[in-house]
Chains A and B, each alone.
Chain A
Amino acid sequence: MKFMPKLRLSQRTYAQKKAMWGFIYVLPWLLGFIFFFFVPLIASLRFSLSKVEANAKGIIVNFIGFENYIEALTVNTSFNRILTESITNMVVNVPMIVIFSLFLAVLLNQKFLGRTFARAIFFLPVILASGVIMALDSTSLVQAINDANEGGSISRGLGSFELAMMMEEAGVSESIINYLTGAVDRIYQIVSQSGVQILIFLAGIQTISPQLYEASKMEGATGYEAFWKITFPMVSPLILVNVIYTIIDSFSRNAMTDLIRETGFTSFNFGLSSAMAWIYFLAVSLILLISSYLISRKVFYYD
């Protein structure tokens, strides 16, 4: 019993040493976090509540309360429209991207000829669909000529129109029809935004132990049942991950970001720009909160 305190002491120093090293390892990040994230975040909040004037000597910040927010929401002509548009886009696209990428991940996990090749193609958007390339793509005139030459756009439009007619006759409700035909028309957008999500789902599916599938097959389950009773619950935590990732990913390419930048750097209205950014941030975090609350109630954790 006599050596116990000594042992505990040496244990504590070992733990302390580890804690010290932990702090040292995290320190670079912490410095960056303070200087490149936290201070700017507070500064941006302050800017959004004040009138900011930049001149040769520097910047003058005068507190004016919520005027910038009121201006963004009531005076500015395009803010409300763009905010609702980008939020609606987000709400519409996220479920579609998540469902689509889960479906494709299941598909790409099956064995078939040329699977490696197919996978390589499906992850190509991770590389191509980001930044300028995406922005410039939509302005390509040559593509427009070609489409016109082929009559491509007309026949494509007709395709989804016929689909809509067919579903309407079958008695599907109109809003669902609009949603689905919208998905058909935006297939490139959806495919090109789901590269990382497919990767994440695929990784998740591959960690499910094959014994579960064997056992269920023995009991006579069909592939359909195996998907809904095994695959789906097992990857459900990743649905949350993917929803959050998709929402975050949409920051880099939407009209809202452009508007905020333009207000800040072209008309040099830093206060208004910060206020817009904060409204946008609050709206997005509201969506994140609601969706993660709704999903996490349904998520199944294996352990």
Chain B
Amino acid sequence: MIRANMIQMAAWLLARLLSFQSWKRGLWSCVRLGLIMGLSFVIIYPILQKIATAIKDKSDLYSPIVIWVPEHYTWDNFKQAIRIMDYWTTLGNTFTLSVMTTVLTAISCAFAGYGFARLKFKGSNLLFMGVILTILVPPTTILIPVYLNLKDLNLLNTYWPFILTSMTANSMKAGLYIFIFRQFFRGIPKEVEEAAYIDGAGVSRTFTRIMLPNALPSIVTVLLFAFVWQWNDSFYTTTYLTTSKVMSIQLSSLPYNLGIMLSDGVSSRADPFYQSMVLDTGMLLAILPLILIYIFVQRYFVESVERTGIVG
């Protein structure tokens, strides 16, 4: 009896093993695993490379046996890069600038987005076309006149250009944020709003008490994008700020400063490979805060965009 059962079970297992469906499924998950691992490696490879370079000693640079794991570990590269970039000051400046523009942009874009989504007035659709236009026109087209205006007003090399543009929802990629907010507010049912009005709340009260708390996912998305893009931006920062110590400027002038520092004033005498090594370390230091932030917020990042109205 037991034997018959076992034979039956074996046969069933065999049939399952040989069935086309399960083979296909197994094969697909293998292929999928391979693809995802491979592409993840492509993405992570430069970071790993930089880490491997940053902890290497100078002598390992020419050693043919050292590719990934260095023979002599050292913090020298970090010390050099931190000294030359004036890292802590730069970090503070960049952080202040990014937080400031991010918060102001989010506030002004939320107002504009709500205005365009729910509070229609004569010509609001026409103005929204203007928002689309700001997304479509390459920033280089208007760069020179803006630069000249700011120069006339003596606002260059201050944070004022950033503050003004982000207060008025015209900073980097602000059109996109307005678009995101508008789509999201349009997705919140009208009944919610009407209930608030009937209960006696005015427009501004409805907005701050009812709509904003509901729009949390889109707020998180906009905050994240604005922060990251401002942090990495070199286009506006190199135009508006030429002497301030901000991460992206320090990073782009690092090769030059490095050459001067390492060879006592004559930039051509420095060892280019060593320069490149310290440059890699500098880049690692510049993106390190972003990666740390990303580790903590990436869950919200993924979830929030999934729930944001970009899709509708």
1/0 per residue B206-217: CB within 8 Å of A? Answer: 010000000000
* Nearest CB on B from A236, distance (A): 12
A199 to B64, CA, bound (A): 41
Q: Is the beta-carbon distance between B49 and A191 smaller than 8 angstroms? A: no
A104 to B280, CA, bound (A): 30
Select one of B40, B44, B122, B306 contacting A206, CB under 8 A: B306
Interface residues of chain A, those whose CB is within 8 Å of chain B, are: 17-26, 28-33, 35-41, 43-44, 47, 58-59, 104, 107, 110, 112, 116, 118-128, 130-133, 135-137, 139-143, 145-146, 149-150, 187-188, 191-192, 199-200, 202-204, 206-207, 238, 241, 248, 251-252, 256-257, 260-261, 264-265, 270, 273-274, 277-278, 280-281, 284-285, 288
Q: Is the beta-carbon distance between B146 and A36 smaller than 8 angstroms? A: yes
Number of A-B contacts (CB under 8 A): 266
Q: Is the beta-carbon distance between B112 and A28 smaller than 8 angstroms? A: yes
Given known pairs A19-B119, A136-B252, A207-B311, the reply for A26 and B53 (CB within 8 Å) is: no
Select one of B67, B137, B207 contacting A150, CB under 8 A: B67
Contacts of A104 in B (CB 8 A): 39
Stretch at the interface among B95-103, B161-169, B261-269: B161-169
* B127 beta carbon closer than 8 Å to chain A: yes
A107 to B204, CA, bound (A): 43
Q: Is the beta-carbon distance between B310 and A25 smaller than 8 angstroms? A: no
* B291 beta carbon closer than 8 Å to chain A: yes
Instruction: List 20 extra interface pairs beyond A33-B168, A191-B43, CB under 8 A.
Output: A22-B118, A23-B115, A23-B121, A28-B167, A29-B170, A33-B127, A33-B134, A37-B130, A37-B137, A44-B145, A122-B43, A133-B251, A137-B283, A142-B53, A142-B61, A187-B42, A192-B43, A199-B305, A257-B235, A274-B141
Q: Is the beta-carbon distance between B306 and A110 smaller than 8 angstroms? A: no
Interface residues in B, total, Cβ within 8 A: 97
Q: Is the beta-carbon distance between B144 and A44 smaller than 8 angstroms? A: yes
Q: Is the beta-carbon distance between B141 and A128 smaller than 8 angstroms? A: no
* Nearest CB on A from B38, distance (A): 9
Q: Is the beta-carbon distance between B280 and A202 smaller than 8 angstroms? A: no
A173 to B35, CA, bound (A): 26
The residue of chain A having its C-beta at the shortest distance from the C-beta of B124 within the complex is A22
* B140 beta carbon closer than 8 Å to chain A: yes
1/0 per residue B132-147: CB within 8 Å of A? Answer: 0111111111111111
Interface of A: prevailing SS: helix
Q: Is the beta-carbon distance between A277 and B280 smaller than 8 angstroms? A: no
Most chain A CB within 10 A, of B61, B140, B279, is at: B140
Contacts of B256 in A (CB 8 A): none
Interface residues of chain B, those whose CB is within 8 Å of chain A, are: 29, 32-33, 35-36, 39-40, 42-47, 49, 53, 61, 64, 67, 108-109, 111-112, 114-116, 118-122, 124, 127, 130-131, 133-149, 152, 164-165, 167-170, 178, 203-204, 207, 228-229, 232-235, 239, 248, 251-252, 255, 272-273, 275-277, 279-280, 283, 286-287, 290-291, 294, 298-299, 301-302, 305-308, 310-312
A188 to B140, CA, bound (A): 26
* Nearest CB on B from A55, distance (A): 13
The residue of chain B having its C-beta at the shortest distance from the C-beta of A110 within the complex is B32
* Nearest CB on B from A19, distance (A): 4
Select one of B143, B291, B306 contacting A127, CB under 8 A: B291
Q: Is the beta-carbon distance between A284 and B146 smaller than 8 angstroms? A: no
Most chain A CB within 10 A, of B44, B145, B204, is at: B145
Q: Is the beta-carbon distance between B49 and A143 smaller than 8 angstroms? A: yes
Q: Is the beta-carbon distance between B305 and A203 smaller than 8 angstroms? A: yes
Q: Is the beta-carbon distance between B144 and A47 smaller than 8 angstroms? A: yes
Q: Is the beta-carbon distance between A28 and B111 smaller than 8 angstroms? A: yes
A273 to B203, CA, bound (A): 46
Contacts of B275 in A (CB 8 A): 141
A191 to B35, CA, bound (A): 12
Contacts of B298 in A (CB 8 A): 120, 123
